[in-house]
Amino acid sequence: MSGDEEMSPGRAAVALAGIDQARAAVREHSGWAGRAMAAYGMASLVFFPAGGLVHGVWAAVIGVCWGVFLLSVLRYALPNRVVGRGFRRLYLRATAAWTVLWVTGALIGHLVFADQVAFWVPAGVVVALPMFAAAVRAR
């Protein structure tokens, strides 16, 4: 079919099928974003409580592990060739919410609930929520 030919219902249906195919290809190849956000959420579950409960040398080890994790996510994300529709906005919103929760939670934790597992572990879940929500929406 050339661009100059008239468009019949049959040809329109074929064109729409082609559009669906292109959409499916993009959806298939943009799944990495959801996986990266889920990994961020999982890491928050571990690193946020660890940041409040671990001291001394182990705190430094946790810091290094967090850095390695961030680099790994970056290394995973960079080679990907497509960013799904709306992901950039979703990422910015999730990261903003996650940062606010992390900083607020850490401040409250260190000032009021130092070394209290009953605060740091549930707070880690709350901190991770924006990333899990973004992971679900990015699917």
Partner 1 sequence: MSEHPRHRLDPVIHSPIRLSIVACLAAADKAEFAFVRDTVEVSDSVLSRQVTLLAEAGYVNARKGYVGKRPRTWLSLTAAGREAYGKHLAALTAIAKMPVTEEADV
DSSP 5: S
Q: Tokens for 16? A: 């729409």
Nearer to partner 1, 18 or 122 (CB): 18
Query: Which range binds partner 1 by CB under 8 A, 10-18, 49-57, 92-100, 102-110?
Result: 10-18
Instruction: Tell whether residue 74 is a contact of partner 1 (CB under 8 A).
Output: no
CB of 21 to partner 1, least distance (A): 8
CA dihedral for 87, 88, 93, 96, sign (positive or negative): positive
Q: Using the rule CB under 8 A, which residue among 39, 73, 82, 97 binds partner 1?
A: 82
Q: Scanning residues 12 to 31, which ones bind partner 1 (CB under 8 A)? A: 12-13, 15-16, 18-19, 22-23, 25-27, 29-30
Helix (H) or strand (E) segment spanning residue 129: helix 117-138
Q: Nearest approach, Cβ of 20 to partner 1 (angstroms)?
A: 8
CA distance 130 to 120: 17
Q: What are phi and psi of 8, to 5 degrees?
A: -95, 165
Secondary structure (3-state) at 79: coil
Chain contacts with partner 1 (rule: CB under 8 A): 1-3, 6-10, 12-13, 15-16, 18-19, 22-23, 25-27, 29-30, 78-79, 81-88
